[in-house]
Amino acid sequence: MQEISPVTQRDAAVAHPPQRPSNVRDSERIASTMAGGAMAFYGLREARERMPALLVGGYLLYRGISGHCPIYESLDINTEASARPAHIEHSITIAADRTELYELWRDFSNLPRFMTHLQDVQVIDQKRSRWTAKGRPGRRCRGRPRSFLIAGMR
């Protein structure tokens, strides 16, 4: 087995720095690259007076070209992953009356019983409710979706 000298290892690390995972979707990358290029060009014309534009332009160029946003990373946001569609390969058949199932489904306070990602659903009135979803440890998401009736179900 051939040993690699420390100098060769260091040179390899400099030549190929570790890749950070992409956390910016393609449309944001394109917009960041275009805006960053325009701002950097504007900032280069009179660099002393337009230093903020040059810095922001450089950041946006980095974000667009690399696909990695350090701000998103610190806030634990990944828009690239959310842009991918879900692929469902499992279905179930429930042997129950359609009206009974609809009533169970329409009472949003029942949802945490069979939707494991929901922590709590508080019904405010007929059209509004407050949902709390489980997130990563120590985090949770809240929302207030509006409900609507499905024609022909009632």
Answer whether residue 115 is part of any domain.
yes
For residues 37 and 58, give the distance between their C-alpha atoms in angstroms, rounded to a whole number.
Answer: 8
The answer to whether 60 and 41 are in contact (CB under 8 A) is no
The reported pTM is 0.45
What are φ and ψ of residue 69, in 5° steps?
-120, 110
Report pLDDT digits (tens) over 20-70: 788 898 899 999 999 999 999 888 888 788 899 999 999 999 999 999 999
**Total domain count for the chain?**
2
| Same domain for 71 and 121 | no
Report pLDDT digits (tens) over 91-106: 888 888 999 988 888 8
Beta bridge partners of 142: 132
| Same domain for 78 and 122 | no
- The residue segments making up the domain with residue 52 are 13-82
| Same domain for 17 and 78 | yes
Answer whether residue 3 is part of any domain.
no
